[in-house]
Amino acid sequence: DIVMTQFPDSLAVSLGERATINCRSSQTVLSRSLNKSHLAWFQQKPGQPPHLLISWASTRESGVPDRFSGSGSGTDFTLSISSLQAEDVAVYYCQQYYSTPYTFGQGTKLEIK
């Protein structure tokens, strides 16, 4: 199984500041044929299902604010929130969908400082 490790486990950032969450996979999730990494980012607020923010490591989903961006390739990935808003408080997960069993990171809890 591919193990997904996120860091940090929790993060406190001031409103308007940048938040950065990292995710590392134990094996590459880069498809050479597609030249894309099979990596997704989700946001989960209390009592709600996860919400897809980013697919293919850097493709923002329709309707997702452009302050959210994803980067990275192969085994190392980053989710950035350029200017933190109060509504961004949530738990964030990365997930690889390169090979089954698909696996998630343990989650990063983002709070306001």
Partner 1 sequence: QVQLQESGPGLVKPSETVSLTCTISGGPISDYYWGWIRQPPGKGLEWIGYIFLSDTTHYNPSLKSRITISVDGSKNQFSLKLSDVTAADTAVYYCTRRGYNDVWGRGTLVTVSS
The residue among 16 and 101 lying less far from partner 1, judged by its C-beta, is 101
Instruction: Say if residues 42 and 52 touch (Cβ distance below 8 Å).
Output: yes
Q: Select 10 or 14, whichever has its Cβ closest to partner 1.
A: 10
Give least dist CB 58 to partner 1, A.
13
Contacts of 43 (CB under 8 A, 6+ apart): 50, 51, 53, 88, 90, 91, 92
Q: Which residues bind partner 1 (CB under 8 A)?
A: 1, 38, 40, 42, 48-52, 55-56, 61, 93, 95, 97, 100-107
Considering the complex, state which of residue 19 and residue 38 has its C-beta at the smaller distance from partner 1. 38
Q: Which helix (H) or strand (E) holds 73?
A: strand 68-73
